[in-house]
Structure 1
Amino acid sequence: MTKLLLSLHVLAAIVAIGPVTAAASMFPAATRRALATGADRDVAVLRTLNRICRVYAALGIAVPLFGLFTASSLDVLGDAWLITSIALTAVAAGVLVLAVLPRQRAVLDGFGREPVEVDVKWPARLAMHTGLFNVLWAVVTVLMIVRPGSTTGA
């Protein structure tokens, strides 16, 4: 059962977090392009990237759920590396839900107005928050692989 749970946890991370990471990373550059061109096509790209982020962020809830079930079956719920991973996952989710997605929405709302009301500083701020989200997930991934103090860790 542990192998099945671990497989589901890893698959959920790849399928759910990967698209959010990629789409969120592409959004600031696409915003700059849309600001430069004003083309409907570039704004449509922004809408698609935002939709990917929203949908896969919702699916991403499966990652910590499968992770908790896996950790319970491995009897590592009290291990420091896991507690740290859980805390960093919560921070990453907070950055996504409280900073990245609302700023993406604000950018899209700005393109919905005439004249376009998008602050030129937004892409840089959005890139910063997206980068923070990505770094947090990278650290969590490393912790999951290395598992400090584990007899099976690297």
Structure 2
Amino acid sequence: MTKFLLAVHVLAAIVAVGPVTVAASMFPPLARKVPADPGESLLNLALLHRICRVYAVVGVAVPVFGFATAKNMGVLGDAWLIVSIALTAVAAVVLGALVLPRQGAVLRSVEDDVLDARATVRLAMVTGTFNLLWAAVTVLMIVRPGSTTGA
């Protein structure tokens, strides 16, 4: 059962978190290009925002299966897992409270033709923070101190 839960946890992370990190990273540079090419770029910008919103909700499966896996493995109290849980919570807050609302604000400003380039820079910064948090969690999941893999 543990292998099944771990497989679902990893697949959920790849399928849910991967698209958010890529779409969120693509959003600020595309937003800066919209004034020069408003037609298709605006549609693509709206699509990237929707991908981020939808996959953020789907991403809830990652910690759900992560907790189930950790419980089956008996590692819920391990320091590396607690740090991973904390970083995941911070990443979720950054995504929900900073990235998605700022994407929405940038999208509305682009639609109204009043884009402030500084807003895209700030958005890129918080998006990078979100991506770095997930990178740290990924490294902890792979390296995890006390691992029995011998790697």
TM-score, structure 2 as length reference: 0.96
Moved over 3 A (4+): none
C-alpha distance in 2 between matches for 1:80 and 1:50: 35
C-alpha distance in 2 between matches for 1:78 and 1:92: 21
Q: Is 1:147–1:153's contact at 8 Å kept on the other side of the alignment?
A: no
Tell me what 1:13 maps to: 13
One-letter amino acid of the structure 2 residue matched with residue 108 of structure 1: L
Q: Cα 1:22–1:153, aligned 2, differ >3 Å: closer, same or farther?
A: farther
Deviation by residue 1:36-85 (Cα, 9 ceiling, x = unmatched): x1512111110000000000010000000000000000000000000000
Q: Cα 1:96–1:153, aligned 2, differ >3 Å: closer, same or farther?
A: farther
Q: Is 1:145–1:153's contact at 8 Å kept on the other side of the alignment?
A: no
Q: Is 2:31–2:110's contact at 8 Å kept on the other side of the alignment?
A: no
Instruction: Tell me by how many angstroms 1:153 deviates.
Output: 5.6
Q: Is 2:42–2:111's contact at 8 Å kept on the other side of the alignment?
A: no
C-alpha distance in 1 between matches for 2:150 and 2:97: 33
Aligned residue pairs total 151
Find out whether 1:129 has 2:126 as its counterpart.
yes
Find out whether 1:27 has 2:27 as its counterpart.
yes
C-alpha distance in 2 between matches for 1:93 and 1:153: 31
One-letter amino acid of the structure 2 residue matched with residue 135 of structure 1: L
Q: Secondary structure at the match of 2:117?
A: coil
Q: Identity of aligned pairs, percent?
A: 63
C-alpha distance in 1 between matches for 2:7 and 2:80: 19
Deviates more, 1:128-137 or 1:142-151: 142-151
Listed as ranges, the gaps of 5+ residues in structure 1 are none
Q: Is 2:23–2:49's contact at 8 Å kept on the other side of the alignment?
A: yes
One-letter amino acid of the structure 2 residue matched with residue 21 of structure 1: T
C-alpha distance in 2 between matches for 1:73 and 1:108: 43
Q: Cα 1:17–1:78, aligned 2, differ >3 Å: closer, same or farther?
A: same
